[in-house]
Amino acid sequence: MMKRKVAIVTGASGGVGAASAYCASKAALTHFNRVLAEEVSDVTAISVRPGVVDTPMQAQIRQEGLGVMNPKQYTYYTDLKDKAQLEPPQIPARSIAWLALYAPHNMSGEFRNCNDPDIAGPAQSVYGSTY
C-alpha cells in the first residue's frame, strides 16, 4: 500500500436498530481508517457514508424488517421506498470511485457523507451527472 500511496475507502453507517453486528463492523472500519491515517502517512484512508441506498439489503429490510425492528424504524425504510427517496446505487458509487482515485490526502482519517460537496461535486465533474 505504501509504495502505491493508495486510497482506502470504506463504507460507514450510523446506528440502526436490529443491525448491531452490521453497525459495529462499520464503526470498526471507520476507527481503523482514523488510526491508519495517523500511523501511515503515505496512505489516504477515508470512511464514507453512502446514505440509504436502493440495494438488495434494503429489499430484505422491507421484506423481513417488521419482525425484527421497531415499527417506527420499519416504516421509515418502507416510506423511503414508497416515496422513491432511496438513493440509486450509482450516486454513492460515483463519489466512492472518485475518492478511491482522487481523494485529497488532507481527507485521510475523516468520516464523510457521499453527498458532501467536497466529494459529490468533483465526482460529478469527473463522471458526469447521469447514470
Average pLDDT of the chain to the nearest whole number = 90
Q: Quick count: other Cβ atoms within 10 Å of Cβ 93?
A: 17
Beta pairing class for 44-49 and 7-11: parallel
Instruction: Report, as an integer, the average pLDDT of 86-91.
Output: 95
CA dihedral 24, 30, 33, 37 (to 10 degrees): -140
pLDDT for 94-130, tens place per residue?
999 999 999 999 999 999 999 999 999 999 999 998 7
pTM: predicted TM-score of the whole model, two decimal places: 0.87
In angstroms, the CA 45 to CA 48 distance is 10
pLDDT score for 4: 62
In angstroms, the CA 8 to CA 43 distance is 8
Of all residues in the chain, the percent with pLDDT exceeding 70 is: 95
